Structures are given as C-alpha cells and as structure tokens.
Copies of this chain bind each other. A is one copy, B any other.
C-alpha cells in the first residue's frame, strides 16, 4: 500500500478544510441547484416524485377498510389497464406507420413521375418544398402548441421513472402533438426515426390511466383513485414505455428488456410480468392490423412500414475464422459511436443557443436543416453511376423499393438513390437483405455512410418530435456494409449479415444498451442464429465507447439539466456525511401548530415537506413525530376545521376528511397557498397535525456517510430523507435531504476540494483518443 502517507496527509487536509469552510456555510445557505430543466424543447420547472408510503392515521384507516373485494377490483383494474394500454399503443404504432408510409409514398411517387418526364428541377422543387412544409408543420405545432413533445422524449420518460416530474410531459396535448409531429417530421425525409417517440407516446397513454379520470369533465369513478399515487403511476408509465418500444419494433421481448435496462430505475418482478402481457397484446394487435393490410386496403402501406426484416436465410453461416473481422467491426463501431455522441452533444449545445431565442428561430433552424437534407437526398445520388439490373432478374429491376431508377435509363438502377430516395425503414431493409453483395458500389457506401452520419447528428436538435434509433441503425448498417466491402475477399461473411452486425456495433457505441438491443435486433431480423455474433459485437463496441464518454441518453439528460439520480454513489460521497450536505434553513412545525405560522412558512418557502416535532406539554422532551407534506397541509388548511386552542384532537380530526382528499393529483395540478384566504381570527387558531403526518419517515443519523444515505434514498425511492442528530441534546431533526442534495454540482459546490480527479470516476475523453490516434498515425508514417 504505497502512498499511504500521502493519503493521510490529504485526508487530514480534507478534514481541516471541511471544518473551517463549510460548517458555518452549510446550515444557512439553501441548495441553489436548478429546479428547472429543458423538457422537450422548453425550460420548465420540475418536481420530485414521492414513492414513499405515507403512513398517517388516515392512510391506516383507509387501508384497513380495503376488503378482499376492493383488492380484487384493484388487481382487475391493473390488468384491464395493461390490456387497454397494449391495444391503444399497438393501434397508434400501426397508425403512425400507415400514415408515414402513405405520405412518403405519395411524395416519392409524385417526384419519380416528374423525373421520368425528365423534369428534374421541378421534381427537386416538389421534393424540397413538401419536405420543408412537412417539417415546418411539425416544428410549428411543437413550438407553439406543446414544446414538451419535442425530441424523442426518452430522456424525459427516463427522468420521470427516476422520480423527476415535469408539467405537461404526459398531457393530452403533448400526446397529440407527439403523434402528429412524428408522422410529419418523419415523412419530411429528415434523417430521423419514429421509434423513440413511440416510447413517449406509450408512456403518455399509460399515464392517462393513472390520472384517476377527470373531475372537470366528470369522467371519474371511485375505482380509479387506486392509481392516484406516484408508485402506481410509475408502474403504468414503465408498462406504457415498454409497450411503445414493442410497437415501434414489433419486438415484444425487446420492449420489456428495453424498459428494464435503460428506462426504469426501479423494477419489480411483478412488473416484468405485467409489461410482458402488455407487449404481447401489442404484438397481437399489430399482427391483426397487418393481416388486414395484407388484403390491400392500406394504400401504399404494402409490406413495409413496421420494421421486420425477415432474414431467415441459409446463407447466414459463420465460423470461428470470421471472428477477427467481427471484432474489428465492434472496435471501430465503438469509436464511431463515441464520436457520434461527442459531436451530437456539441451540435445540441449549439442548437440550444439558437432554439433559446424563441419559436421563430426554432422554425428557421428547422427550415435550414430540412433544405440541407433535401439537397443531400436529391443531389448526392447524381454522383452514383447507373448500374444495369442484375441478370438474375432478367435485366429488369422489379418495382419494389430495392432498386430505384432515379435518373437512369430503363433496366438500370441508381444504387445510391435506392438508399437515399426511400424511407429509412426501406433503406435498412435493402442493406440487410442477404445475397446482395454486388448490388452496391463501394463508393456508394462511403457517400451514404458519411452523409448518414452527419445528417443524423445535424437533425436531432431540430425542434420536433422524432427519435434517434432508426438513423443509428441505418448508419450502422451502412458502416457494416462498408466494412464488408473493404474486407472484400478476406471474409466469407454475407454483406447483409455484416450490415446487421454493423447496426449492432453502432447501437452499442451510441446507446450502450446490451441485452435489449441484442434482443431487438434478433426480433427484427427473426434470426436467432445471429445471437452470439450480435452479442459479441455489442459487447466490444460498448466497452470501447464506454471508456470515452457516456451513452447518448445520459448526455442528453445532462444537457437538459434533468436531476437524474444515479443508482451508485460517486467515490467522493464516501468522504462526506449526510450532515455535510444538509442545507438550511430547516422549517419545522409543532404537533399542534398555529395556522398563522403554517401559512407564513408555506408562503415564504418552497419546501414540500416539514418535520413535525412534539414538544412539551405533548411529550416530555422534543421528539420527532413525523413528516407532513405541503400538499396535505394545503388540503387541511382548505377545510378550515381549525381548533380554537392548542389541544390535541387525535383521530377525531379525520372525521371531516376522506382519503380521496389526500390523493396525489396529476403533475402540474397543485393547489397554492395563495389561493386560500384566511381571516385574522383564523390565523390565530390551531391545527392538530398529528393525524396527517407520516409517522414512519425514513431517517439517517447525521454521521451516516453520504454514499450510504444515497443508497437508502435511491433504493427505497424517497423524496425526503430526514437527518437526525447523533446526540440527543439537540433538536430532533437536523435537516432534510432531497434529490437535489445528492446532485454532484451541489455537493462539489459545497466542498470544492473534492473536485480533484482523485475522487472521480475513470473516463477518457474523445480528444484523448484523437491524440493517441494522431500519434499512432504519425508513428506509422514515420516507419514507412
């Protein structure tokens, strides 16, 4: 153990710094971390969710009255909701695809017809204008109607499932804009996908079932109130999100795993079971609709739309000798992926500066990106040479999407146009098709890969609902084909197979998911024999990319400023105790408190919970009775059932209330203390807070290490964690820890000496990689 002495020195320095600087500071200054985050495309206030059971007298009585019948009703409702969520999300998923296929189909048919008449400029005009109009429509409804619907929504859903609530993310308006916006944005041939928004859509649909109906429209029912709490809503949203993934990729197992691996922060075995049921329903619904479409009633839907690349082909064999190219594919895919994330974060930062300036700037940005995309999509195919149709088809390219004529003569096709001038889904299908090693020219692959990589990065920051998944799959497939072409005769692998592996490696390098991506790819391609290769590639690319930066969702979460609570403690948290990060001022209430005091404190602070302390004469010494929530205080104040004197009323106080009164309302729908008026007499009266206080709040002693306090906070899913003193001669509560007190910026702000890299995690930066690469290239050049 070399370096022990150094450590002791630094630790004693640490301690002295700690004692001198912060003890005085920390009790008085409030936590200044931002309570705002970018939701969709606008900055909104955020709030924490509360998964704790509020065990006050009212809850206990309410719970006691739940007989067997009510429990059965609750179970029945849960499963019915799963069924309904599955049906609705499946239908929306199908509808999205139907709409996109038809709109894009109409557009491409019109443009192709003009090109057949050699009206190239008109064709470009029609193409670019329709793209522009479609994207501007999507951007406009997002910017003006529901900014929360912007982007894929996956970061917001992830944050919600981690306990961060934002108004509007699950509103009806958001859902409508999300669906319509996705359809138009994807139809505008922008390099974006429709899979990501399905996650948000599914979560939205599921969240409606957790609202407990609407009192405004009298659409409510006593049964629905079982779900009016954050725990049941969390379960519903998790289920909805997995249904969304399942609908996007027609991958029921992949959907469950995606939600499990990369969305949910808390997971229970029962939830696997219910979300699995939901995704099975989604799969059945999709099958039902596709059966209908197969009879030809769906316009230009054809066989396409819903991604399902059947590649069950006998040419997909591989041997141990194929491992080196596959490993190479994984390594390069990881590097490409980490650069993609790096560039994406830079572009997003730049775009956010533009988008901040207002809706007009958002639309301008969208217009510029749309025009660039249209120029690329229409212009680049001219670089490719016309190729005669393969001889096996008797020199005649079939009218399917695999071969596009573009500007070529009959019986010829333009291979670049077959990729550019198509929906992303069809392009992926083309690239995945086996036995097509000679269909694409190497240069085509180079051009398509570079433009696909760049367009993907440029597109995502535009204000409109769309996702990242499909462009990443497409770019990865191109990268795989490119590698296959470069390898040439050194490998016997089918190029279609390598394209699939390329997708896997690029997904592993950007999204960094493993099991779910693997299962989704296997479900997409319907070929289980691929599994070991896909796994290997994913593992390698993820490992490579993970040593440089975070996955793309984490990067976006950070850019959006969402206070995501990680499941593990940072090393520096072991250096601190819970008492070190508690910030003041702490507001407490007596067991029987004066109305005036309560109103004053509620008006002057933004806290959401207050400790209730019993002092003499109610107890021999000051003891902690429990914790009362602001929302519950407001309900009690509204009833105005005050006591004239400072006496303890006990459970009698509950007579005036039913449990429904205290149900958690939907996000954004909160009472404010300013809405209630009090007479001066009322302000002098008292409330007995005992029956409304949660008597079982979780507590930690102030000497508990912060890392272990975080474990408790995160594992149990708390909103407030009480810090109690070590010795008994002080107030029974020292402070309250909330989500924001665990955020690195807060902790490192209080204790700046922890910033030293010593306590931070290992991570290289992409720039370091560039440096190494450069020196490697220089070394190579020097040698030759």
Interface of A with B (CB < 8 Å)?
Answer: 1, 3-4, 7-8, 11, 52-53, 55, 60-65, 67-68, 71-72, 252-253, 256, 261-262, 267-269, 272-273, 276-277, 280, 283-284, 287-288, 291, 312, 320, 514-515, 518-519, 522-523, 526, 528-529, 531-532, 535-536, 539, 542, 567-568, 574, 577, 619-621, 623-624, 658, 695-696, 698-701, 703-705, 707-708, 711-712, 715-716, 726-729, 732, 762
Contact = CB atoms under 8 A, between A and B. Distances in A.
Given A55-B574, A699-B700, A253 B1 contact: no
Nearest to A577: B696
Given A253-B515, A276-B518, A699-B699, A716 B727 contact: no
A623 B7 CA distance: 29
Number of copies of chain A assembled together: 2
Given A4-B61, A715-B715, A283 B532 contact: yes
Given A535-B280, A701-B699, A1 B65 contact: yes
B53 A3 contact: no
Contacts of A574: 55, 60, 63
A718 to B, nearest CB: 10
B514 A272 contact: yes
Contact of A252 (B62, B262, B531, B620): B531
Contact of A64 (B7, B272, B623, B700): B7
Contacts of A715: 715-716
Contacts of A535: 252, 276-277, 280, 283
A620 B708 contact: no
B728 A287 contact: no
Nearest to A279: B535
Contact of A53 (B1, B624, B699, B707): B707
A401 to B, nearest CB: 24
A260 to B, nearest CB: 8
A293 to B, nearest CB: 15
A277 B538 CA distance: 10
Contacts of A695: 703, 705
A269 B261 contact: yes
Contacts of A4: 61, 65
A758 to B, nearest CB: 9
Nearest to A79: B543
B280 A539 contact: yes
B283 A531 contact: yes
* A-B pairs, 8 with minimum CB distance: A728-B728, A280-B535, A715-B715, A696-B705, A696-B704, A7-B64, A283-B532, A696-B708
Contacts of A288: 320
Given A253-B522, A268-B568, A280-B535, 13 more contacts: A1-B65, A55-B705, A253-B253, A272-B515, A273-B514, A276-B539, A291-B320, A619-B727, A621-B727, A621-B728, A698-B708, A716-B716, A728-B728
Contact of A7 (B52, B65, B542, B621): B65
A660 to B, nearest CB: 10
Contacts of A72: 762
Contacts of A621: 727-729
Contacts of A619: 727
B528 A528 contact: yes
Contacts of A711: 716
9 contacts: A1-B65, A1-B658, A252-B535, A256-B515, A273-B515, A526-B529, A528-B528, A621-B727, A623-B727
A528 B518 CA distance: 14
B532 A623 contact: no
Contact of A727 (B60, B253, B523, B620): B620
B280 A536 contact: yes
Most buried by B among A8, A515, A705, A732: A515
A729 B568 CA distance: 37
Given A531-B283, A623-B726, A567 B269 contact: yes
A262 B747 CA distance: 38
Contacts of A658: 1
A27 to B, nearest CB: 20
Contacts of A55: 574, 705, 708
A64 B727 contact: no
Contacts of A620: 727, 729
A487 B291 CA distance: 25
Contacts of A523: 528, 531
Nearest to A730: B728
A8 B651 CA distance: 11
Nearest to A622: B728
A390 B700 CA distance: 75
A536 B287 CA distance: 14
